[in-house]
Structure 1
Amino acid sequence: MSSSTSIDAGSADRAQLASVVDAEIVASNQRVPIGIVGKAIIALCILYTSFHVGVMNLYPLETWTYRLIHVGGGLALGFLLFSAALFTDGKPGARQLPRNLYLLVMAPGALAVLVAFLQAAGFYLTGEGVAQASAKTALVAGFGWPLVGGTVWLIVVSWLTPQRDRAGIDLADVFLALAAVTVAMYIIFHAPFLRLRAGTALAKDADMFAAIAGVLLILELTRRLAGLALVIIAGLFILYSFVGPYLPGILNHRGYSLSRFFTYVYTDQGILGPTTAISSTYIILFVTFAAFLQASRVGEYFVNFAFAAAGGARGGPAKVAVFGSGLMGMINGTSAGNVVSTGSLTIPLMKKVGYKPQTAAAVEAAASSGGQILPPIMGAGAFIMAEITGIAYAEIVVAAIIPAALYFISVYFMVDLAAQKYGMKGLPRDELPKFSVLLRQVYLFIPIIILIGALFSGYSVIRAGTLAMAAAAVVSWLTPHRMGPRAVLFALEIAAKMSLQLVAVCAAAGIIVGVIALTGVGTRFSSLLLGLADQNQVIALFFAMIVSIVLGMGMPTTAAYAVAASVIAPGLIQMGIAPLTAHFFIFYFAVMSAITPPVALAAYAGAALSGSDPMKTSVESFRIGLAAFIVPFMFFSSPAMLMDGTWLEIIHVTVTAIFGVYMLSSTVQGWFFGPAGTIVRIGTLAAGLAMIEGGWLTDLVGFSIAAVLFVFQKRLVGPKDLARGLD
């Protein structure tokens, strides 16, 4: 999705250089309602975020109820705020039906959903629903068919006759939001019964219809917010549940009825399971934290600080992108979203100092994606991993430090070598924020420091995140951008809007997780992985890399990791690979799918901002982020890289790995103390791979090759001297 935010880099005031970073991003299919309707939606957004923060900190709710309100409320807000089609903003586009004709076309679906909603409301008014003793077909005519039929009708209407007014609300989407509320109301009321009968022969048809409508709504909102990739993958998994008896080999299973499948998948084994547990707690909490940083303009300070520190160096804006985008990407949890926010500033400035458009976009994409592996937040990845594996959060964060540092050091080397190769300069100092001034505002890092300190002091993740959120508001009072009640409400509003994509994709990923659990295909896939690898861990890891990247293409990191971990991790662990190493390995490649051709969402977002070719940009971002494809194999062969070893071992592998990624960066960029020809690049590649191995002998070989290449590149010896030395 493209952003409406832009910047004229040449006219940016140096004191406000990064002001665009904290601007609210409006997607190309996002509505901006005005008047009473706009205020009502703002109030709903504030209520949605406040509900989560309140439940997490003050008044815990029963698990199913909380997660259903999380999903149902997110779906309702999503349909109100995001159109089924892109807005043309005054440009020629598809025609709209006349108002009266549109209402006539929409009316059957709206009336059907309204009937289902009134029936669901009746459960709460009368206290009677579809009990265990009810007939299997109870309320099918008065609730089930109207809900599913109306939902399908309205989705099709929203596709065929989308309303083109960004400032208004599409009535079809209003009733789709009502359908989402109806599904949540039905399942919340019947939760005590559904825990016993869902996924069994005891399930009622009304249960099935509510679940079908819920799945349809999740997939449609996921399409609107995250594109078709995840919808297609989820659709294939749903189809697999029914065609299993006709498939060969490990894909074969006995098949499931509509009732058993849909009632099973809308429980805590699927949609309400681990992915929604994470999105309803850790993800929405840290999205809200990011919103508080944005509202208090602390995020702007982070990027300005990076500009003051590195903006004047050669290729300065690219180095700023490495630091600033990495820091912001760690917090906001979406690679493509971070590219849009920080890239709108850094990409034009990179082009200004001489980077090609595709390189500028690629650097931003690589840096923003790297934010997902940067501790302590890791774009919520650390919390997801802790939830799935049961490994302590603190252990995960500590283990992530060296691999993340290697990745960002590698990207830094890439941009620095490119700057040397093409003779690029930094931005003039008079166009940059003054470092001395920003240094006096270093207290703005306090929210991050409080977050880290609270986590390592033993506070829960939720309590630590809440303290950091409060700290962001308090710290703002030391700046001109003080957060009063209006700013706090604004932060709660944009937090809801920022979280909707993750709510949808986590629910869609839950469908896939449910299918894997129901059919057992994950276990069979793990057995296949073991068979193909023939107990060779390296081969198994290679297959795991391919599967993680393929599953992650077109999917946000959260969903990509959750699905890949369900399918692949059990097999790797069964082969004897440590659980932390296995999950870190999968997580890294799920993250890097955002810059891996042919479907690289972060690179495509950068290409849209820079005006470059999307495919060329994705190839370039893959090259720049090359270290991320090597680092996982490094920490597999050298556990000390995950802080599992003595201090001597940890220092040894860290130093040699840094040297190794420098040599690999020289290979990719073709620059090693001067232009590097084919022979020199082969030498730097060999030296880099030798250093990455982690053994003392291979390190000696790598250093020796590098030393020879250094004296050759410095013209201390020539080809004839080298040839004579071989005699």
Structure 2
Amino acid sequence: MSADAAPAAGTGPVIAQGVDEEPMAPNQRDPGARIGMLIAVLCAAYTIFHLTVMVLYPLETWAYRMFHVCGGLVIGFLTYSALTQDKTAQDGATRHGPLELALLAVAALGIGYGFVIVAYAWLSWWLAGVAMPPAFGFRTYGLPLAGGTAAAIIAGWLFSSRDRGRIYPADLLLCFASVAVLGYILFVVGGLRMRAGTAMAQPGDLWAAVTGVMLILELTRRLTGLALVIIVGVFIAYSFLGPWLPGFLNHRGYTATRFFTYIFTDQGVLGDPIAVSSTYIILFIVFAAFLQASRVGDYFVNFAFACAGQARGGPAKVAVFASGLMGMINGTSAGNVVSTGSLTIPLMKRVGYSPKSSAAIEATASSGGQILPPIMGAGAFIMAEVTGIPYTDIVVAAIIPALLYFVSVYFMVDLQALKLNMKGLPRSELPRFDVLVKQIYLFLPIIILIYTLFAGYSVIRAGAMGMAAAAMVSWLTPHKMGPRQIFRALELGARMSIQMVAVCAAAGVIVGVIALTGVGARFSTLLLTIADQNQYLAMFFAMCISIVLGMGMPTTAAYAVAAAVVAPGLISLGVPVLVAHFFVFYYAVMSAITPPVALAAYAGAALSGSDPMKTSVEAFRLGLAAFIVPFMFFSSHELLMQGEALDIIHATVSALLGMFLLSAGVIGYFFGPVAMVLRIVLIGAAMSMISVGWITDLVGLSVALILFLWQRKTVTPASLAKGRAD
């Protein structure tokens, strides 16, 4: 153990060390000292640029968002390879074949020509005051740039180095292509605002947009896999195939120039997802990076072990508690599983949980972190941007649904531990609570963040104050944040944000397609038609679409797409805006544990060694409450803090009792093991309690009381037949 990681004297055993260290992705590079330092400086500069613009010197909107996207592309291509990396690979001396050399030559010539033309335009303006470069240059730069970018991408797919320490030449060329796209759009941004998406769009506009979309999709593939790329590809194809599609999918179709120039505006790539990514998301990712640099994540997990580690099934309860805390400041469910699950999953297996259950519990708890106030991953910020509802109102509305979700998961792991007669970890192996509670001040950055948000400060100012608090609090610990640690936090913030940049830009393409084709309005009409028959059937249909759209995608992209496609349809049914967006947000989050494509469950299965599909089914079962809660606040807005205080209390208490009965029915333990028939009865009683109303509550409580007496042998079939208890 390094001195840096050593526990303070008297704290007892320290279970969590480095849980908030970012694990290296399979295709992530680890270059040598000089190149690594150069990338680190670029990352820190990227973070400082955002903080400076947000806090001190505002920048024109399109320019700022373009710097955000293209800076992310440059760092992403330097950091992530097109292929999986191998620590032992040493292929620097490998000979390059004719096809590879041909692809690299085409890429170098095409990207080089485009880059030089754009650079010449800027130098002419800076040095000679020439506002417009020769027309020939901007007419001819685009096709070579796009062709060279395509060649570089293909070369990366086929021939990229497996050596973690090397940056493949094609990736350097992709960085130059990103800068060329940025340079062109910034140079013509005034005219582009007026002509993008119209017949007046220029060929240069088209090729800059095409190149930009290719770069975004390639980086998205490297960071999140093919799922989101395929979905974006389907939407792009839909834009051109519309005239040949039937029913409500039919539209007149668009030319490539109109489509791509429209997509690369604030209606698409530079729209709401990137607006949020470039402000709130990166701000809170940097806040999380400051917490990580000050080792607050370790404290969260150790505190959770000190509180719950000794209880029956202790590590599972720790997973619920710690994953909620970590997920609150972590933007992805799968990332949260990897960071905390590497510790909690082995310990869950040790006290008796099966590998499948261990992974499912971690995945379910980690996904719940995305709906836990005050940060709620990143989707809440997009919700505030899209709906215009103040962020603080969204946070308040999220409190009861998040409580119901985590209480349900807690009940399930507790009842499962009781059913299997599990024990907790020995107190001698756990951190000492009396010592950790003296370090409760490590929660101060989050407390300050919450206070400033509700005191009326802007989200950006509150986040900046939270970062400052994290740095100051670190001086009360062995992990003081000096210049080196602050630089590390700034660097880490940029690295952690790259996935969000790519995902939000890719989601922006989908949002742009929806806006251009009007398919969202047609979907609203379809929902209205279904609702004429049954409103709950329309809601069920909306749930299924939200889940399908979110499968394989990070939370942010899943919600952004569902908000564009499904939420307008719900609003057209008369559902309040807040309720409609919370409805699709929950299912977008829960797509991470919904078979057959459940990213969080798959990440947990990889750690536990269990079958991914069986793990996802188990996670779906444990997270069942999250699939019911949206229907609860759809029928009872009190669960979103809408209404009178007494009604809110009644709805909450009733729902909490319903969550207990639901958990008992799912696990099969209600003051003792219960048979399948009684489990079905319990779930029915839970549904009755969940449906807010005094009569349904009375029915649910009566059934629960009879089952309790039955389990205690106070009520028997004979006594029921006679109408009395024994």
Question: TM-score, normalising length from structure 1?
Answer: 0.95
Residue 98 (str. 1) matches residue 56 (str. 2): no
Structure 1 residues 159, 129: closer, same or farther in 2, change over 3 A? farther
Residue 55 (str. 1) matches residue 36 (str. 2): no
Distance 1:22 1:311 in 2: 19
Structure 1 residue 134, shift from structure 2 partner: 8.5
Is the 1:666–1:684 contact (alpha carbons within 8 Å) kept by the matching residues of 2? yes
Q: How do 1:163-174 residues align onto structure 2 when only pairs under 5 Å count? A: 163-174=161-172
Structure 1 residue 229, shift from structure 2 partner: 0.8
Distance 1:472 1:713 in 2: 51
Instruction: Report the counterpart of residue 656 of structure 1 in structure 2.
Output: 654
Residues 658-678 of structure 1: CA deviation (Å, up to 9, x unaligned): 110111111111111111102
Q: In the comparison of the two structures, how many residue pairs are matched?
A: 713
Question: What stretches of structure 1 move > 6 A for 4+ residues in a row?
Answer: 128-135
Instruction: Report the counterpart of residue 218 of structure 2 in structure 1.
Output: 220
Structure 1 residues 130, 611: closer, same or farther in 2, change over 3 A? farther
Structure 1 residues 104, 659: closer, same or farther in 2, change over 3 A? same
> Which letter does structure 1 place at the counterpart of 2:189?
A
Structure 1 residue 107, shift from structure 2 partner: 2.5
Is the 1:573–1:579 contact (alpha carbons within 8 Å) kept by the matching residues of 2? yes
Structure 1 residues 657, 406: closer, same or farther in 2, change over 3 A? same
Is the 2:242–2:249 contact (alpha carbons within 8 Å) kept by the matching residues of 1? yes
Distance 1:91 1:202 in 2: 51
Structure 1 residue 88, shift from structure 2 partner: 3.1
Is the 2:198–2:258 contact (alpha carbons within 8 Å) kept by the matching residues of 1? yes
Residue 436 (str. 1) matches residue 452 (str. 2): no
Is the 1:96–1:164 contact (alpha carbons within 8 Å) kept by the matching residues of 2? no
Is the 1:417–1:666 contact (alpha carbons within 8 Å) kept by the matching residues of 2? yes
Which is further off, 120-129 or 457-466?
Answer: 120-129
Is the 2:124–2:130 contact (alpha carbons within 8 Å) kept by the matching residues of 1? no
Instruction: Report the counterpart of residue 273 of structure 2 in structure 1.
Output: 275
Instruction: Report the counterpart of residue 262 of structure 1 in structure 2.
Output: 260
Distance 1:656 1:130 in 2: 71
Instruction: Report the counterpart of residue 18 of structure 1 in structure 2.
Output: 16
Structure 1 residue 724, shift from structure 2 partner: 3.3
> Which letter does structure 1 place at the counterpart of 2:161?
Q
Structure 1 residue 723, shift from structure 2 partner: 3.4
> Which letter does structure 1 place at the counterpart of 2:667?
Q
Distance 1:95 1:701 in 2: 73
Distance 2:422 2:187 in 1: 64
> Which letter does structure 2 place at the counterpart of 1:671?
Y
Gaps of 5+ in 1: 1-6, 8-12
Structure 1 residue 722, shift from structure 2 partner: 2.6
Structure 1 residue 523, shift from structure 2 partner: 0.6
Structure 1 residue 35, shift from structure 2 partner: 2.2
Residue 509 (str. 1) matches residue 507 (str. 2): yes
Instruction: Report the counterpart of residue 84 of structure 1 in structure 2.
Output: 82
Distance 2:526 2:346 in 1: 48
Q: How do 1:7-46 residues align onto structure 2 when only pairs under 5 Å count? A: 15-46=13-44
Q: How do 1:146-225 residues align onto structure 2 when only pairs under 5 Å count? A: 146-225=144-223
Residue 641 (str. 1) matches residue 644 (str. 2): no
SS in 1 for 2:122: helix
Residues 149-205 of structure 1: CA deviation (Å, up to 9, x unaligned): 100001000000120110121111111111111111111111101001111111110
> Which letter does structure 1 place at the counterpart of 2:568?
P
Distance 1:16 1:240 in 2: 54
Instruction: Report the counterpart of residue 8 of structure 2 in structure 1.
Output: none
Is the 2:294–2:480 contact (alpha carbons within 8 Å) kept by the matching residues of 1? yes
Instruction: Report the counterpart of residue 333 of structure 2 in structure 1.
Output: 335
Q: How do 1:572-721 residues align onto structure 2 when only pairs under 5 Å count? A: 572-721=570-719
Distance 2:114 2:333 in 1: 39
Structure 1 residue 392, shift from structure 2 partner: 1.2
Residues 587-616 of structure 1: CA deviation (Å, up to 9, x unaligned): 000000000000000000111111111000
Is the 1:45–1:493 contact (alpha carbons within 8 Å) kept by the matching residues of 2? yes
> Which letter does structure 2 place at the counterpart of 1:360?
S
Is the 2:706–2:715 contact (alpha carbons within 8 Å) kept by the matching residues of 1? no
Structure 1 residue 718, shift from structure 2 partner: 2.5
SS in 1 for 2:144: helix
Structure 1 residue 631, shift from structure 2 partner: 0.5
Structure 1 residue 91, shift from structure 2 partner: 7.7
Structure 1 residue 138, shift from structure 2 partner: 6.0
Q: How do 1:74-473 residues align onto structure 2 when only pairs under 5 Å count? A: 74-90=72-88, 97-99=94-96, 105-127=103-125, 139-141=138-140, 143-473=141-471
SS in 2 for 1:658: helix
Distance 1:266 1:251 in 2: 23
Cα root mean square deviation, aligned: 2.0
Is the 1:123–1:129 contact (alpha carbons within 8 Å) kept by the matching residues of 2? no
Distance 2:639 2:293 in 1: 37
Is the 1:509–1:562 contact (alpha carbons within 8 Å) kept by the matching residues of 2? yes
Instruction: Report the counterpart of residue 564 of structure 1 in structure 2.
Output: 562
> Which letter does structure 2 place at the counterpart of 1:352?
R
Which is further off, 306-315 or 676-685?
Answer: 676-685
Instruction: Report the counterpart of residue 524 of structure 1 in structure 2.
Output: 522
Instruction: Report the counterpart of residue 544 of structure 1 in structure 2.
Output: 542
Of residues 479, 482, 490, the one that matches 1:481 is 479
Distance 2:582 2:116 in 1: 48
Structure 1 residue 682, shift from structure 2 partner: 1.9
Residues 525-545 of structure 1: CA deviation (Å, up to 9, x unaligned): 111111122164322211110
> Which letter does structure 1 place at the counterpart of 2:23?
I
Is the 1:20–1:345 contact (alpha carbons within 8 Å) kept by the matching residues of 2? no
Structure 1 residue 111, shift from structure 2 partner: 2.5
Distance 2:79 2:129 in 1: 32
Distance 2:639 2:693 in 1: 13
> Which letter does structure 2 place at the counterpart of 1:725?
G
Structure 1 residues 656, 636: closer, same or farther in 2, change over 3 A? same
Distance 1:535 1:514 in 2: 31
SS in 2 for 1:379: coil
> Which letter does structure 2 place at the counterpart of 1:651?
I
Structure 1 residue 571, shift from structure 2 partner: 1.5
Distance 1:404 1:630 in 2: 12
Is the 1:330–1:379 contact (alpha carbons within 8 Å) kept by the matching residues of 2? yes
Distance 1:144 1:653 in 2: 60
Residue 69 (str. 1) matches residue 87 (str. 2): no
Distance 2:52 2:123 in 1: 26
Distance 1:130 1:633 in 2: 61
SS in 1 for 2:83: coil
Is the 1:411–1:625 contact (alpha carbons within 8 Å) kept by the matching residues of 2? yes
Instruction: Report the counterpart of residue 10 of structure 1 in structure 2.
Output: none
Distance 2:378 2:530 in 1: 33
> Which letter does structure 2 place at the counterpart of 1:533?
A
Is the 1:96–1:161 contact (alpha carbons within 8 Å) kept by the matching residues of 2? no
Structure 1 residues 527, 129: closer, same or farther in 2, change over 3 A? farther
Distance 2:635 2:652 in 1: 13
Residues 466-487 of structure 1: CA deviation (Å, up to 9, x unaligned): 1001100000000011000100
> Which letter does structure 1 place at the counterpart of 2:614?
K
SS in 1 for 2:654: helix
SS in 2 for 1:27: coil
Which is further off, 527-536 or 284-293?
Answer: 527-536
Structure 1 residues 37, 104: closer, same or farther in 2, change over 3 A? farther
Instruction: Report the counterpart of residue 4 of structure 1 in structure 2.
Output: none
Distance 2:213 2:130 in 1: 20
Structure 1 residues 96, 722: closer, same or farther in 2, change over 3 A? farther
Distance 2:539 2:92 in 1: 51
